[in-house]
Amino acid sequence: MKLAKRMLFNKRGSLYGAILAVTIGILVIHVNFVIFQGLYDAIVRDITEYRNGDVRVTDEDDYIDKSDSSIISWFERISYVEAAAPRLSSTAEMEITKNGKLIEKTRIPVVGVDPFKDIRASTVHETVTEGTYVFSRNSIVLGNTVANDLGGAVVGDNVKVMIIDRWGEEQTKRFTVSGIAKSPGGQGFDYSAVMHIDTLRDMTDRTDQTGSIMVKLNDPSKAFEVKEFFLLSFPNGDFLAETIEESAEQQLAGFRSGIAMINMIGYFGMMSSAFAVVTIQMMLVNGKTREIGVMRAIGAKRKDILIIFIFQGMLIGAIGAGVGTATGLGYTFYAKETKMSFNNSLPLEVTYNLEKIIQTALASFILAIIASLYPSYRATKLLPVEAMRSG
């Protein structure tokens, strides 16, 4: 083993090359994970925080008829639940006039919120970059894109909103813009307008109805239990309750396939590094042909030679896995601490996935050993006299 170590460490160029190959293989996996899993988790985070909550309750008939207050009170009695808030959605036509002149007209989605409950259950209010969140029944928050579409609406502007109510009648109301919302990556209500839920109920004539209830948990891992408990507690209702994975399934399914493909590419990268290890190990064997011949001549068995080079593969794998994992963790740490994002898009949700880290390190270690098998086998096939002569 000492000899194997010396033989490897005295060939520093080859050693560094092999370690670098393994390190790069691991780093590719870590970088892929940080970026793509981070992006996926960031989307899940934003959908959870802005729209669906950890658990989302809807009704088979599109609207919940039961009092939202009683459902919210029921939820907030569960220790895992931090807060719950009602939401109602519709579509509106909006126009802005300045000095009696129509500036712009656009059709947008509108969301009704209970401002007092919503700031506990959601972080949409934090996306209001100018002005304030909805504070009264005739105030409205415009998404950044909507404000732009309206010719650059600003806080304090007056907008006219037209909504078709449940009976097909057009309802019109004037609002004062209280705030402009802009979220990193546009996952918030950048393309919508947010108003008081009671105002939207009045305009749509759905006075006692709610579109959905978003439930925020203090322990998101209990989402399934909370959902099941809710459905068990309201067996006769037409309620639908979904965890974030279920409610955002459509948005996330495609992304998941993308991540699987990226992971595949990462593993192909790791395979390439294994081929680099094969090449470097072959160089090591060729560079040590004379030594192999001498060892065979003085009594080393084929098995001994095999062990020397496999041990070298293990050393390369272990050091490479260590350096690669450390580098990968360094990158992950950097991404997490700097709240990494690309082109001011949504900040990545960076997590340390211990299972994935160990799996990657172990896979590269095993690959380095496998990559050493063929060169080691070649080394055992050298004949002592020939090897001493050619070396």
Partner 1 sequence: MKALDDVSFSIEQGEVILIVGSSGSGKSTLLNMIGLLDSPTNGDIFIDEINTTALNDNQISSFRNKKLGFIFQFSNLLSDLSVLENILLPIQIAGTNSTTEKDAIDLLKSVGLEDQMHKRANKISGGQAQRVAIARGLINKPSIVLADEPTGNLDSVTSEIIVDLMKSMAKKLNQTFIIVTHDRKHFGNVDKVITIKDGKAFQGEEPSTMEITV
Name the residues that contact partner 1, by CB under 8 A: 2-3, 6-7, 10, 290-291, 293-304, 384-385, 388
Query: Given the complex with partner 1, which of 182 and 302 has the nearer CB atom?
Result: 302
CB of 302 to partner 1, least distance (A): 6
Residue whose CB is less far from partner 1, 76 or 291:
291
Alpha carbon 77 to chain centroid distance?
Answer: 31
Q: How far is the CB of 279 from partner 1 (least distance, A)?
A: 21
Q: Which is nearer to partner 1, 105 or 290 (CB)?
A: 290
Q: What is the DSSP letter of 327?
A: H
Which is nearest to 185 in space by CA: 34, 344, 337? 344
Label residues 182-210 b or e (16+ Cβ within 10 Å = b): bbbbbbbbbebbbbbbebbbbbbebeebb
Least CB distance to partner 1 at residue 293 (A) = 8
Runs of H (alpha helix) within the chain: 2-9, 12-32, 38-46, 68-76, 115-121, 144-149, 197-204, 223-233, 244-247, 249-287, 289-297, 302-337, 354-380, 384-390
Provide Rg for the chain, Cα atoms: 31
> Could you give the CA distance from residue 22 to residue 273 in angstroms, rounded to a whole number?
6
- Show the tokens assigned to 329: 């963790």
Pick between residue 210 and residue 380 the one whose CB is nearest to partner 1.
380
User: Is residue 196 a contact partner of residue 157, using CB atoms and an 8 Å limit?
Assistant: no
Nearest approach in angstroms of CB 375 to partner 1 is 17
Between 312 and 360, CB nearer to partner 1:
312
The smaller minimum CB distance to partner 1, of residues 282 and 388, is found at 388
CA dihedral (41, 42, 48, 51) positive or negative: negative
Least CB distance from residue 344 to partner 1, whole Å?
55
DSSP classification of residue 193: E
Among the listed residues 275, 383, 202, 206, the one whose alpha carbon sits nearest the alpha carbon of residue 18 = 275
Q: Which DSSP state fits 78? A: S
- Compute the least distance from the CB of residue 300 to partner 1, in Å: 5
Distance CA 22, CA 16 (A): 10
Q: What residue spans of 67-131 are helical by DSSP H?
A: 68-76, 115-121
DSSP 234: -
- Residue closer to partner 1 (CB basis): 94 or 382: 382
Q: In degrees rounded to 5, what are phi and psi of residue 101?
A: -115, 130
Smallest gap, in angstroms, from Cβ of residue 11 to partner 1?
A: 9
Cα(370)–Cα(277) distance, integer angstroms: 10
Return the number of the residue (5 or 98) whose C-beta is nearest partner 1.
5
Measured from the CB atom, is 271 or 297 closer to partner 1? 297
- The distance of closest approach from Cβ of residue 307 to partner 1 in the complex, given in angstroms and rounded to an integer, is 11
Least gap, CB of 383 to partner 1 (angstroms): 8
